[in-house]
Amino acid sequence: MSASTLTVTDNRTGSTYEMPIEDGTVRAMDFRKIKTGADDFGLMLYDPAFMNTASCRSSITYIDGDRGILEYRGYPIEQLAESCSFLEVAYLILFGELPTADQLDRWVYEITHHTMLHETTKKFMEGFRHDAHPMTMLISSVTALSTVYPEATEVHDPTSRFLQIKRLIAKMPSIAAMSYRHSLGFPYVYPDNDLSYTENFMNMLWKMVEPKYAANPVLARALEVLFILHADHEQNCSTSTMRAVGSALANPYLCISSAASALSGPLHGGANEEVIKMLDEIDTAANIPAYIASVKGGKRKLMGFGHRVYKNFDPRATLIKKIAEQVFEVTGRNPKLDIALELERIALQDEYFISRKLYPNVDFYSGLIYQAIGFKPEMFTVLFAIPRTVGWLSQWQEMIVDPAQKIARPRQVYTGARNRRFIPMAERKPVEVKA
């Protein structure tokens, strides 16, 4: 018997099965052969929320949740945040290697020359109410963009895929800025090819009547680093959505809008907006103990705390705290920072949070920085979606070319009724039903 195997005995039948262990995993399909008889479907694995299921092999992002390690293509996030531009990291994530100077120039040129939006996008945008949420406008507009590029359905054509990848990375900031200007009733600003990815985004957000927009370099760099920290995070809810929708061979614009929809939820990328609402609600440090008590009483969650994978610290949160100091030197201190720091201090001493290994995650401090830079809270999740587009597209590309992948299709354990006799309308009795 090989050492790298798992032996399972089915006590219902006394049969023993041997299964290979590869990379710390056993294949779920190997359990299907465990049957009580010829009519038995075979054993399935029950794993709601995919707590312990690897859905793919991936060489993009490595996370060690216990040690607080995050690497893109093997490079620690701290080094990339220190030394790289966002588009340099995007290149690394997509292609697996850091670009040379020439490769980076070419890549930056290509992304920069795809930032313009088709003029119909303005018309989609104008259809939204003035108070529409920017994240919802972003999601809807990316969906609408699929009508502009019908050839994007050619997902098995590498040339078409690469073109859509460049377009999506380039156009997400343009759509995001448009949604922001729409909500303020300001005219849309066209991209400026002289500027870097983040400076151009700031230009499209905030340029008014000045002939050329000049971004504050400290704030532009802070945004760049925040983008780097958000670029990928392996198989989270939105990335799994991207892969699942992509596995049906849907076009990548629709995959991105599906992934962004998942991101918008308050338990995922929407948490950064919720953190600011929470800090507003707490208002003063004196209210923190009562707030913590209500969290411990199960009435609410402490937003920006906890993570499915990180159980010691979120390395992104550590880096974000440092960026906050640099930003606040330019913008002045966000008054909510003191409440956030005190909340963190109290929570980290509390048995409830210690025993559940709940620590600040990436969303706890990012909103404070975004707000200091000048973003409204409704824009925070949009700021997450822009860089995460790189990760979503890399994961989609990896999935499409992986011969082991097929259309995503989980199984279920059916718990409902069977073989009921149809009841004609006249014979039906009212039954109380719950939504």
Q: Using the rule CB under 6 A, which residue among 173, 191, 304, 387 binds ligand CMC? A: 304
Q: Which stretch binds ligand CMC (CB under 6 A): 156-164, 253-261, 331-339, 360-368?
A: 360-368
Binding mask 224-253 for ligand CMC (x = CB under 6 A): ---------x--x-----------------
State the nearest-atom distance from the C-beta of 107 to ligand CMC, in Å: 26
Q: Which residue is at the shortest CB distance from ligand CMC?
A: 306
Q: Is 269 in the site for ligand CMC (CB under 6 A)?
A: yes
* 73 touching ligand CMC, by CB under 6 A: no
Contact between 356 and ligand CMC per CB under 6 A = yes
Nearest approach, Cβ of residue 418 and ligand CMC (Å): 32
Q: What binding mask, one character per residue, do residues 32-71 give for ligand CMC by CB under 6 A, x or -?
A: ----------------------------------------
Tell me, letter by letter, the H, E, C secondary structure of the chain: CCCCEEEEEECCCCEEEEEECECCECCHHHHHHCCCCCCCCCCCCCCHHHCCCCCCCCCCEEEECCCCEEEECCEEHHHHHHHCCHHHHHHHHHHCCCCCHHHHHHHHHHHHCCCCCCCHHHHHHHCCCCCCCHHHHHHHHHHHHCCCCHHHHCCCCHHHHHHHHHHHHHHHHHHHHHHHHHHHCCCCCCCCCCCCHHHHHHHHHHCCCCCCCCCCHHHHHHHHHHHHHCCCCCCCHHHHHHHHHHHCCCCHHHHHHHHHHHHCCCCCCCHHHHHHHHHHHHCCHHHHHHHHHHHHCCCCCCCCECCCCCCCCCHHHHHHHHHHHHHHHHHCCCCHHHHHHHHHHHHHCCHHHHHCCCCECHHHHHHHHHHHHCCCHHHHHHHHHHHHHHHHHHHHHHHHCCCCCCCCCCCCCCCCCCCCCCCCHHHCCCCCCCC
Give catalytic residue positions.
Answer: 268, 307, 363
Q: Which of 303, 319, 337, 385 binds ligand CMC (CB under 6 A)?
A: 303
Return the residues of window 105-144 that contact ligand CMC according to CB under 6 A: none
Tell me: does residue 204 bind ligand CMC (CB under 6 A): no
Site string for ligand CMC, 362-391 (x = CB under 6 A): xx----------------------------
Any contact of residue 305 with ligand CMC (CB under 6 A)? yes
Stretch that binds ligand CMC, among 30-38, 185-193, 268-276, 369-377 (CB under 6 A): 268-276
Query: For binding to ligand CMC (CB under 6 A), which residues are involved?
Result: 233, 236, 267-269, 271, 295, 301-308, 356, 358, 361-363
